[in-house]
Structure 1
């Protein structure tokens, strides 16, 4: 069994592939043979040490949270899954483990996936679709009310698709100026766009961010409902994501695909901001 390992925080050339020891699953755990893993901005932030206070990891650390694969073993008390089941899921970021041939994970953090859609696609889903759904659910917005989605990444694209025809993707100040007035804003971008949106929101407007929180004092003074969402993964959420994906409510595809042999190099480039978009590692060795 093999994995990508980090031995310390760093902004470039920090990872290597090495041998991985996997313990038998404990109660309510399963072992998944990973077929594809997708990288997210949080993975890079953790590797650089930007999230030490939020996610205190221990070295050596196997990065990655989002994956798809096949169950090879189940622990006691696991009744919904069996060896051979196709699944996808999201590891706790503190534990990591997706950039490896196998992962031991709580059965409450995975869900079934169909064979008709590739592991590469399902590996892309847990974080972007999870935080998009969580943020949209936190709004009081009706389906026909205008929503501005700030950003153009996987989370933004997924949120705009799930929100329907009244959602507008905004990726620059020029696009923001041209966008229709809106009472609802979902921010995946931050910076100038975030500030412009907060300034234009009407009284009673709602702002949800996932990059950085809005200033509480400013929001209260403007009488804006502002919140900051953090992803919490559950089996029920993953099941909802799978259902919506299968029904065609949204689509996500990898922008770059690399083999497991290249995983350490690709991860280092991702951490160093030399590689952007939805990056997926596949071609895991069969062990």
Structure 2
């Protein structure tokens, strides 16, 4: 099979398209013919070596955490997933990722892809959907609570906003000033997150945009709660005046299925900015690094 492999840590030129053996599923795993995968900011951090201390890879390695495709083989003890099922999948950052023609994942890391969603749409959902929902759950938000989300028009922000609306909470999208009107259409309420507030008015917030993490925390009252998927700037949380949950998503098939369901009903939409071929992985990563608005997807 063809796979996009990272030869060494560095810039986007470190990828090569290689012929490698097709993996075989072990007990509890499924083999997927991958039709599309997404490129995330976290893939760039891995490529650059910034997280090598925490996630060491045996190079050359296959990156990619999001995928959609068709199950072509199942291992022993797999139930609920069958050969021929269209699925979306959440791959672990273990060097055996989704930027390849085939991939193996635990059966607990997949959910069925509804018939009315394309493989490209499915590939945009896993990590954004899981992270958005789990950020809300980490805050223990109740109906009626107002929650500020930085990066409200990003993939994670959109997933969080949809879930907050689903549980009858009140999302407030924190975005750049030129995107306020678009954010109001999505969330109902929005504010300019690039500016520090006059007063802290929120009990809950989700930090999903690194450049404005400091401003977001300033919006939260003393004793409030923040779920953060980005680094918290040093000196931001003086005297631990707010409780910060540093969050990295966990694989959960039930949540993944719920995300696929709301997407199939048009309640959650993750815009796709550009589709590249698998061989264009370097250009795709550069597009993400440059701040392209919307998801970048590789078509295999």
The TM-score, its normalising length taken from structure 2, stands at 0.85
Higher share in strand: 2
Task: Please say if residues 99 and 263 of structure 1, whose CA atoms lie closer than 8 Å, have aligned partners that are also in contact.
Answer: no
**What displacement does 1:158 show?**
2.1
How far, CA to CA, are the matches of 1:169 and 1:179 in structure 2? 17
**What displacement does 1:194 show?**
2.1
Relative distance call for 1:275 and 1:154 in structure 2 (3 A) is same
How far, CA to CA, are the matches of 2:200 and 2:19 in structure 1? 54
Unaligned runs of 5+ in 2: 178-190
Match of residue 163 from structure 2 = 162
1:202-222 Cα distance to aligned partner (Å, 9 max, x none):
233111111114769946542
**What displacement does 1:279 show?**
0.5
1:206-253 Cα distance to aligned partner (Å, 9 max, x none):
11111114769946542x221111111122221121222223331113
How many residues get paired?
A: 280
SS in structure 1 of the partner of residue 223 of structure 2: coil
RMSD: 2.5
How far, CA to CA, are the matches of 2:219 and 2:198 in structure 1? 13
Match of residue 201 from structure 2 = 181
How far, CA to CA, are the matches of 2:238 and 2:106 in structure 1? 38
Match of residue 255 from structure 1 = 273
Match of residue 77 from structure 1 = 77
**What displacement does 1:2 show?**
0.5
Task: Please say if residues 44 and 270 of structure 1, whose CA atoms lie closer than 8 Å, have aligned partners that are also in contact.
Answer: no
Between stretches 61-70 and 194-203, larger displacement belongs to: 194-203
Task: Please say if residues 48 and 271 of structure 1, whose CA atoms lie closer than 8 Å, have aligned partners that are also in contact.
Answer: no
The 5-angstrom pairing of residues 117-266 of structure 1 reads 117-151=117-151, 152-164=153-165, 166-172=170-176, 175-176=192-193, 177=197, 181-191=201-211, 193-213=212-232, 218=237, 221-222=240-241, 224-260=242-278, 262-266=279-283
The TM-score, its normalising length taken from structure 1, stands at 0.88
SS in structure 2 of the partner of residue 250 of structure 1: coil
Between stretches 29-38 and 173-182, larger displacement belongs to: 173-182
Match of residue 294 from structure 2 = 277
Unaligned runs of 5+ in 1: none
Match of residue 93 from structure 1 = 93
Task: Please say if residues 64 and 97 of structure 1, whose CA atoms lie closer than 8 Å, have aligned partners that are also in contact.
Answer: yes
Relative distance call for 1:144 and 1:274 in structure 2 (3 A) is closer
